[in-house]
Amino acid sequence: MHINDLILKLKNENFVIDTSKDKLQLDVIHGYLSRSYWAKNIPLVIVEKAIKHSFCFGVYYFDKQVGYARLITDYCIFAHLADVFILEEYRGKGLSKWLMHEIVNHRDLRTLRRWSLSTADAHGLYKQFGFTALKKPDIHMEMHFPDTYKQ
C-alpha cells in the first residue's frame, strides 16, 4: 500500500498525528517509556523535562494517545530521533510508518543535514525512511550511561 493511501485509510479510521504538546498524555508516554528497553524505570520528572525541550509528535485514536516520538533538534542542522513507540494494541496498522513519514517530511525540518537515532529492534522501519548504519563510525563518539534510571 502506498503511503498516501495508508494515511488516508488511517485518517478515515480516526487516527491523527499532532505536534501540539498540549495534547500529549504524560501518563501514556511515561507508562510506556518506563517499561521500555531503552528507558526502563525513567522517572516522570525526566520524561516531563525531555518533552519540554524536544519537538514531539503524538499519535491519537480519537482522543486517546496511542503513539509518540520526539526529536532533539536545533530545527536547522541536526536532529536525534528518540522514544518512538506505538502502543502494542495498535501495532500492525501502519501507524509507525505514517509517524515516520510525518516526521521526516515535516516542514520545519527540511534543512536538516544530519539525523540520528539508536534502535535495537526497528532497523527495517527506519531503513524505509533513509536511515542507514553509520557511514564513518570512526568519527562518531558517545558517552553512554545505560543504568542511569536503575533503582
Name the H helices within the chain.
Answer: 3-12, 26-33, 44-52, 95-104, 123-127
Cell numbers representing residue 97 in the block: 510508518
Angle, CA of 58, 85 and 134, to the nearest 5°: 110
Coil, helix or strand for 61? strand
Total count of domains within the chain? 1
The residue assigned the cell 500529549 is 24
Write out the chain's pLDDT in tens, 151 residues: 789 998 899 899 999 999 999 999 999 999 999 999 999 999 999 999 999 999 999 999 999 999 999 999 999 999 999 999 999 999 999 999 999 999 999 999 999 999 999 999 999 999 999 999 999 999 999 998 888 888 6
Please check whether residue 116 is in contact with residue 131, taking contact to mean a CB–CB distance below 8 angstroms.
Answer: no
> What local confidence, expressed as pLDDT, does residue 147 receive?
85
Give dist(CA 40, CA 146) in Å, integer. Answer: 9
pLDDT for res 26:
98
Q: How far apart are CA 100 and CA 116, in angstroms?
A: 13
Domain membership of residue 79 (yes or no) is yes
Has residue 145 been placed in a domain? no
CATH code for position 64: 3.40.630.30
In a domain, 149, yes or no: no
Predicted local distance difference test score (pLDDT) of residue 75: 97
Q: What is the pLDDT of residue 146?
A: 85
Query: What pTM was estimated for this model as a whole?
Result: 0.94
Helix (H) or strand (E) holding 18: strand 15-18
20, exposed or middle or buried, with CB in 10 Å at 0-12, 13-18, 19+? exposed
DSSP state letter for 48: H
Residue 16 has what pLDDT?
97
Q: How far from chain centre, in Å, is Cα 26?
A: 15
pLDDT of residue 151: 64
Residue positions counted in the chain: 151
Does the residue 144 lie in any domain? no
Domain membership of residue 14 (yes or no) is yes
Is 117 part of a structural domain of the chain?
yes
Give the domain range for residue 70: 3-139
